[in-house]
Amino acid sequence: MYKKLIIGLFLFIFTGLSAKACDICGCGVGSYYIGILPEFNKRFIGLRYQHKSLLTHLGPFGERTPITADETYQSAEVWGGWNIGTKFRILAFVPYNFNERISQTGSGTKNGLGDMAVMAYYNLFQHNGMLGERLLIQSLWIGAGVKAPTGKYEPSERLAIQESPNNFQLGTASTDFTFNGAYDIRYNDMGINVNVNYKINTENKYSYRYGNKFTSNILAYYKLRVANKITIAPNAGILYETAKNDVEDKKYQVAVSGGYSLSAVAGVEVAMKGLSFGANYQNVRSQDLAGGRAYAGNRLMVHMSLPF
DSSP assignments along 265-295, one per residue = EEEEEEEETTEEEEEEEEEEEEEEEGGGTEE
Lay out the sheet containing 208-209: strands in order across: 208-209, 247-248, 252-253
Predicted pLDDT at 161: 60
Q: Is the domain 2-307 a CATH 2.40.128.130 member?
A: yes
Instruction: Decide if pLDDT at 226 tops 50.
Output: yes
* Overall average pLDDT of the 254-267 stretch: 93
Q: Are 242 and 260 in contact (CB under 8 A)?
A: yes
Confidence at 61, pLDDT banded by 50, 70, 90: confident
DSSP 3-state percent helix, strand, coil across the chain (nearest 5): 10, 55, 35
Instruction: Decide if pLDDT at 281 tops 90.
Output: yes
Confidence at 18, pLDDT banded by 50, 70, 90: very low
Instruction: Decide if pLDDT at 15 tops 60.
Output: no
pLDDT digits (tens, 9 = 90+) for 74-103: 999 999 999 999 999 999 999 999 999 998
* Overall average pLDDT of the 26-36 stretch: 63
User: Averaging pLDDT over each range in 50-59, 114-123, 286-295, which range is the top one?
Assistant: 114-123
* Overall average pLDDT of the 105-109 stretch: 88
Predicted pLDDT at 21: 35
Residue 98 and residue 73: Cα distance in Å, rounded?
6
Query: In the chain, where are the structural domains located?
Result: 2-307
